[in-house]
């Protein structure tokens, strides 16, 4: 079964809009695990506009499933990951001013940098993953960095699938097949939802984990978080 990791950034966004600690990201992390999620994902950004660096520290003691911290490996982020030692760190090349992640790594151009960062995390027994576009050359480049896994950036698939273009899955299935051949684990995330997750999972070879936040939280406003998590688990089984 593909693991479901719930990205709780949106809970932090809601909390920050009023100050205080309502809703609590710590309690929400406890709840999604209790409801069946097999992981918790956070993506702290330098301006801490949603998840704060202190949240990452506070969550360490309550996430008993897979703890995944995403982000651009600037020095402050690297220090945070080495301090909290999550199950997995996912490297994302997002710029400071972007609303949300909008591109994968150029693993060829950034090979030396990625090798250096990944080596440091792996020395500390932290599994590594690289956020990456569905491009075969980039998959090969990822292998050369020493990463354990890749995370396929799925926004393009989700957009095309919503338009009825199911052929949009092909670059992703091709990349997953190559990644598996190269010994890389395959994760995926960005704009995956209840509408497209089953089709995506059925067409991706050995999909280990999906990280879902915006859609899952939005769907939960109507259907309830416990119910939505069970719906995802059913589609991923």
Pairing mode, if any, of strands 127-132 and 149-153? parallel
DSSP SS3 for 56: helix
Of the candidates 214, 231, 237, 236, the one whose C-alpha atom is nearest the C-alpha of residue 8 is 214
| Contact between residue 105 and residue 114 where contact means Cβ atoms under 8 Å apart | yes
Whether 190 is catalytic is: yes
Alpha carbon separation from 12 to 103, 146, 155, 205 (Å, rounded): 23, 32, 22, 33
CA distance linking residue 68 with residue 39, whole number of Å: 7
Whether 159 is catalytic is: no
- Which residues, including other chains, have CB under 8 Å from residue 132's CB and lie 6 or more apart? 104, 105, 107, 138, 139, 142, 150, 151, 152, 153
Q: Which one of the listed residues 66, 70, 151, 219 is annotated catalytic? A: 70
DSSP SS3 for 4: strand
CA distance linking residue 122 with residue 81, whole number of Å: 11
Q: Which one of the listed residues 50, 151, 190, 209 is annotated catalytic? A: 190
Helix, strand, coil percentages (3-state) for the chain, rounded to 5, are 45, 15, 35
Whether 43 is catalytic is: yes
Q: What does the angle CA 134 – CA 198 – CA 67 come to, to the nearest 5 degrees?
A: 70
Active site residues: 43, 70, 190
């Amino acid at each position: 079964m593909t693991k479901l990791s719930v990205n709780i950034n949106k809970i932090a966004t809601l909390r920050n809009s009023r100050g205080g600690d309502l809703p609590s990201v710590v309690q929400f992390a406890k709840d999604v695990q209790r409801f069946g999620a097999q992981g918790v994902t956070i993506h702290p950004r330098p301006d801490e506009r949603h998840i704060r660096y202190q949240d990452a520290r506070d969550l360490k003691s309550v996430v008993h499933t897979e703890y995944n911290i995403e982000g651009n490996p600037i020095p402050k982020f690297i220090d945070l990951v080495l301090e909290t030692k999550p199950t997995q760190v996912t490297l994302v090349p997002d710029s400071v001013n972007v609303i949300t992640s909008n591109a994968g790594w150029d693993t060829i151009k950034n090979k030396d940098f990625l090798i250096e960062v990944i080596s440091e995390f792996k020395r500390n027994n932290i599994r590594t993953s690289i956020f990456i576009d569905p491009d075969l050359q980039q998959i090969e480049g990822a292998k050369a960095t020493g990463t354990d896994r890749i995370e396929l950036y799925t926004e393009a698939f989700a957009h095309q699938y919503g338009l009825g273009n199911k052929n949009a899955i092909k670059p992703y299935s091709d990349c997953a097949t190559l990644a598996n051949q190269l010994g890389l684990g395959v994760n995926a995330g960005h704009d995956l939802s209840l509408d497209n997750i089953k089709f995506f999972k059925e067409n991706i070879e050995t999909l280990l984990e999906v990280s879902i936040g915006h859609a899952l939280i939005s769907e939960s406003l109507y259907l309830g978080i416990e119910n939505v998590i069970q719906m995802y688990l059913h589609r991923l089984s």
